[in-house]
Amino acid sequence: MEIRPTRALVLETRTQVSDGAGGTVAEWAPLGTLWADMRPRTSGLTDGQEVSLSRTLWRIVVRGAPAGAPSRPVAGQRFREGARVFSILTATEDGPQAKWLICQAEEEVVR
């Protein structure tokens, strides 16, 4: 399969910031923009008591980066494309040369 990184995604990480009252709140901070090849995998609908959630799993491929580099996605971070958010579940190297990183991510949309 040919990899075509044609979509610009912002890689974000969760940070803790002061809430002004002695505590902290979680926020998302951008780490940079990565070009990605995105392909949907599976999707489904979950009905709750008040809302329905549409979940789609995505295969997102970005250029490789050294372990520990801020530009290397890890599980627990997320990609953002405008209002769309893709939570990173896994990030694995594509082969021994690690030219690409393959991320499995989940997008949830409230219906």
For 52-83, how does the pLDDT look when each residue is reduced to its tens digit (9 = 90+)? 778 899 999 999 999 899 999 999 999 999 99
Closest CA to 31 of 90, 66, 74: 74
Q: Is the pTM of this model over 0.75?
A: yes
Q: For residue 49, name the pLDDT band (cuts at 50, 70, 90).
A: low
pLDDT attached to residue 55: 87
CATH entry 3.30.450.30 includes domain 7-110: no
Residue 43: both structure tokens together: 């999707």
On the question of pLDDT at 43 being above 70, the answer is yes
Other C-beta atoms within 10 Å of 107: how many?
19
Q: How far apart are CA 104 and CA 58, in angstroms?
A: 6
Q: How far apart are CA 37 and CA 3, in angstroms?
A: 6
The residues facing 107 across adjacent strands are: 56
Residue 100: both structure tokens together: 């690409």
- Exposed, middle or buried, 5 (CB in 10 Å: 0-12/13-18/19+)? middle
Which residue did the predictor score with more confidence, 44 or 73?
73
Q: How far apart are CA 76 and CA 68, in angstroms?
A: 14
pLDDT attached to residue 111: 64
pLDDT attached to residue 52: 73
